[in-house]
Structure 1
Amino acid sequence: MFLETVQKVLDFINNKRFLQAVTDFALQIVIAIIIYIIGIKLIKFTRNILRKSLLRTNVEQGVIQFLDSLLKILLYILLILIIGGRFGVTKSSVIALLGSVGLAIGLSLQGSLSNFAGGVLILILKPFKVGDYIMEDTNKNEGTVKEIQIFYTKLLTPDNKIIVIPNGVLSNSSLTNATNQDKRRVSVSVGISYDSDLKKAKNIIEKLLVQDEKVLLEEPIEVFVDQLTQSAVIITGRMWVLTDDYWPAKWRITEEMKLAFDKEDIKIPHNLLDIKVNK
């Protein structure tokens, strides 16, 4: 019985139809591999053409990144369909398959579809672009926009970390764009003791602001008493600088205020705590 079974298997293997089927299948695999390799190269070539064409038309970097990632996904889907066709997978069967599982796919990809729609809204409404520094309010993330992809946006933090945020979150929550305008107002505050010369302190701050090379003199410069606290008089100075100069100007003027106050013997009080002991 066993010998008869082995003989039948050997006869089947030696059958010309079987050998032809194996040969045809192996040939289809080789052709599929060749199509895949050529397809990958064509996809890269097509994406390069798209990017170069958009760059020549001065399209924003975020739009280029979004369209590039969308084209990449569509071309890979097309490549898979072409390879599937080599193995008898017809377009009609693919359409029928997509129709039968469309609802399940839609439910499972609700988040992704929301992120895709969010990416489209970002490109249309332009609340930010690549290179802007933004702060989103949902999770308090902030950084410079490096990429706007089809489903997510990448931020680079000041300490060189990458934050990946879904586009749906960015399009459905409030955010602050710190670099959208060419110039920004800088506010610096300092507290002086009640015994110090108030007018002298205000004059020192105003002089520092006027003399700083990054302060825009065509914009208003303000120096005023902001608060009267228990231990200090809070003086605030406001001026305008170019957006790129915001932090260097703020840090520099804050340091110069401290050095000038020390030189002119204007006291910056510490918080004091009086303790009385009843005997």
Structure 2
Amino acid sequence: MVNFNKKWEIMLLGFFIVVLVIAVLSWYFRELIGIIKSVEEPQYYYIYTDIGRLIANVLAVFIVYYVLRRVLILSITRVGGSKADIKMLLGFIKPIFILIATLLVINQFYPIESLLVAAGAFSGLFLGWSLQQPVTGLAAWVFISIKRPFKIGDRIFLPGLNIIGDVIEVGVFHTVLNQVGGTVGSEEASGRIVLIPNAIFFSTTIINYTRSEEKPYILDEVVVRLTFDSNLKEAERILINAAKEVTKDIIEKTGLNPYVRAELWNYGVLMRLRYNTLAKDRVRISHEITRKIVEEFQKNDKVDFAIPYTYSYRAGLKIKKLK
């Protein structure tokens, strides 16, 4: 994908080429019209000049478009751009040249100065209304650059949009995220690119998972459901040892040890193992802790997982009759 700065450089180069070609063609056709004026009779002069000016203007527009098109294709290909980049830029430029050619043709038959004045006034009102979001986005970009609620590489959560993502780029009008989740059911980077308009950041909450580079940790938990006859002290030991083994490096850096909080549940006891984890690696760490807990529970006859159980009175009567 072509860098946005390179695209602007290419467009600026194309603009200078357009100006240069128009200036050369204007000088050439002005000299040509002067020659025609000196040799032709006055009654034919105006016809020749009108037709010549019309053909010259339209021809100049198409020549400039063709030259600019070739320059853009060669430049984008040289910097490693794709066909999609070329197509998008040409799709932006082509309607502009068609509009210019149309205005030049109209101007030969009807003076459009007054029409342009009215259109300019209307366009000013329209642009003032339509550019509210872009101007707000530009102001938000300045705010993000100075205040820095997040930076490139941070993982942020936007509750208003229900989007979690890693910041890839902070542009003038958009912030680019690598979406976390979305295609999967956990907080792992999916590779799906999301463009967020900067204007949104003035009206939505921003939760930054990795605000501090020195402490990119958050509190996480693994929930285990135990039967009522399980040995809770043994279960707590297994849970804490599993968390300590997996997060020993984090414990050394933070000085915070895992702990357990228990509560009653309809079918047993809920044991909530809480520990500090890396914000961007919480899914892997949770998986490793869960795997160790299951392996230890399978070896130990003092603890057991609880499963939902529904009691049926009629089923109970049938069991009693069989006994």
TM over 0.5: yes
For 1:125 and 1:14, how far apart are their aligned partners in 2? 64
For 1:159 and 1:270, how far apart are their aligned partners in 2? 33
Aligned to 1:198: 232
Which among 294, 304, 319 is matched to residue 258 of structure 1? 294
Aligned to 2:137: 115
Given that 1:194 and 1:232 are in contact with CA atoms closer than 8 Å, whether structure 2 keeps it comes out as: yes
Give the superposition deviation at 1:169.
1.8
Q: Structure 1 residues 123, 38: CA separation in 2 closer, same or farther (over 3 Å shift)?
A: farther
5 Å-filtered alignment, 1:66-81, equals none
Give the superposition deviation at 1:197.
0.8
Give the superposition deviation at 1:252.
0.6
Given that 2:247 and 2:277 are in contact with CA atoms closer than 8 Å, whether structure 1 keeps it comes out as: no
Give the superposition deviation at 1:214.
4.9
Q: Percent identity?
A: 23
Which among 151, 164, 187 is matched to residue 195 of structure 2? 164
For 2:118 and 2:168, how far apart are their aligned partners in 1? 40
- For normalisation by structure 1, the TM-score amounts to 0.65
5 Å-filtered alignment, 1:103-252, equals 103-157=125-179, 158-181=189-212, 182-212=216-246, 214-218=248-252, 219-252=255-288
Given that 2:155 and 2:280 are in contact with CA atoms closer than 8 Å, whether structure 1 keeps it comes out as: no
Range 177-186 or range 263-272, more displaced:
177-186
Give the superposition deviation at 1:162.
2.2
For 2:306 and 2:279, how far apart are their aligned partners in 1? 32
SS in 2 for 1:260: helix
SS in 1 for 2:150: coil
Which 4+ residue blocks in structure 1 deviate beyond 6 angstroms? 37-41, 94-97
Given that 2:228 and 2:269 are in contact with CA atoms closer than 8 Å, whether structure 1 keeps it comes out as: yes
The reply on whether 1:21 has 2:53 as its aligned counterpart is yes
Cα displacement string for residues 94-148 of structure 1 (whole angstroms, at most 9, x for unaligned residues): 9997666322211123233333333332222222222222221112122222232
Aligned to 1:268: 305
For 2:249 and 2:266, how far apart are their aligned partners in 1? 32
Give the superposition deviation at 1:213.
5.4
Aligned to 2:39: none
Amino acid at match of 1:112: P
Q: Structure 1 residues 245, 170: CA separation in 2 closer, same or farther (over 3 Å shift)?
A: same
Q: Give the gaps of 5 or more residues in structure 1.
A: 1-10, 49-75, 88-93
Give the superposition deviation at 1:153.
2.2
Amino acid at match of 1:118: A
For 1:38 and 1:250, how far apart are their aligned partners in 2? 55
For 1:242 and 1:275, how far apart are their aligned partners in 2? 46
Q: Structure 1 residues 40, 99: CA separation in 2 closer, same or farther (over 3 Å shift)?
A: farther
Given that 1:121 and 1:171 are in contact with CA atoms closer than 8 Å, whether structure 2 keeps it comes out as: no
Q: Structure 1 residues 23, 109: CA separation in 2 closer, same or farther (over 3 Å shift)?
A: closer
SS in 1 for 2:191: coil
SS in 1 for 2:240: helix
SS in 2 for 1:211: helix
For 2:165 and 2:154, how far apart are their aligned partners in 1? 8
Aligned to 2:15: none
Q: Structure 1 residues 99, 117: CA separation in 2 closer, same or farther (over 3 Å shift)?
A: farther
Given that 1:13 and 1:19 are in contact with CA atoms closer than 8 Å, whether structure 2 keeps it comes out as: no
Aligned to 1:71: none
Range 177-186 or range 94-103, more displaced:
94-103
For 1:138 and 1:251, how far apart are their aligned partners in 2? 29
Cα displacement string for residues 29-86 of structure 1 (whole angstroms, at most 9, x for unaligned residues): 4885599579979x99xxx9xxxxxxxxxxxxxxxxxxxxxxxxxxx9xxx9xx99xx
- For normalisation by structure 2, the TM-score amounts to 0.57
